[in-house]
Amino acid sequence: MSITPYLTLAAILFCIGLYGALSKKNAIIVLLSIELMLNAVNLNLIAFAKYGPKPGLAGQIFSLFNITVAAAEVAVGIAILINLYRNRGTTDVTDMDTMKR
């Protein structure tokens, strides 16, 4: 089994996530896109751990840590977003411009 398809899929996922995080207007979608990027990394790690030149368990353990950290991160992100929505009444990231540039 070759590793290339997995790495390609991970790269595509990562790029979609990066594009979404940088271009989408809805803040929830932005957070979702970040999750997509992190999942691309998990895919990469697991592919390397199974089919890489030097297979081993460390990659799978690393991806477990990634999953938990990503969950914590997005939980905090949504909490902040809810607070922002209460104060401003919008989840549109283009409206987040109260501070001077």
Partner 1 sequence: MYTNNYVIVAIFVGLGIFLPVAALTIGKWLRPSKPIDPKLTTYESGNEPVGEGQIRFNIRYYLFALMFVIFDVETVFLYPWAVAYKKLGLFALVEMLIFVGLLAVGLLYAWKKKVLQWTSI
Partner 2 sequence: MEALRLQLSDLQHLIPELTLIVTALLAALLDLALPRKVSRSFSAWLTLLGIVVAICFTALELNPEEPIQLLAQSYRIDDFASLLKLVILVGTGLVVFMSLGSAARDDIHHVGEYYYLFLPAALGGMIMASSGDLITLYVGLELLSITSYVLVAMKKKSTESNEGAFKYIVLGGISSAIILYGMSFLYGISGSTNLLAINSALAGSIDDVKGLVYLAFFLLLAGFGFKIAAAPFHTWAPDVYQGAPTPVTAFLAVVSKGAGFAILFRVMYWVFGSLTLMGTDLQKDALLSLSVLAAISMIAGNAMALRQHNVKRLLAYSGIANAGYLLVPIATHFSLVHYANYSEFLFYLIAYLFMNIGAFAVLMIVQRSSGNEELRGFAGLYYRARGRPQRPCCSSFRWPASRSRRDFSESCSSSWARCRRNSIGSAR
Binding residues for partner 1, per CB under 8 A? Answer: 61, 64, 67-68, 71-72, 75, 78-79, 82
First CA to last CA across the chain, in angstroms? 51
The 10 Å Cβ neighbour count of residue 6 is 18
Three-class SS of the chain: CCCHHHHHHHHHHHHHHHHHHHHCCEHHHHHHHHHHHHHHHHHHHHHHHHHCCCCCCHHHHHHHHHHHHHHHHHHHHHHHHHHHHHHHCCCEHHHCCCCCC
Can residue 12 be called a binding residue for partner 2 (CB under 8 A)? no
Least distance (Å) from partner 1 to the CB of residue 11? Answer: 26
Residue 17 near which of partner 1, partner 2, none (CB within 5-8 Å, type-dependent): partner 2
Q: Does 62 bind partner 2 (CB under 8 A)?
A: yes
User: 22 or 57: whose CB is closer to partner 1?
Assistant: 57
Which residues contact partner 2 (rule: CB under 8 A)?
Answer: 14, 17-18, 21-22, 27, 30-31, 34, 37-38, 40-41, 44-45, 47-48, 52-56, 58-59, 61-62, 65-66, 69, 72-74, 76-77, 79-81, 83-84, 87-88, 93, 96, 98-100
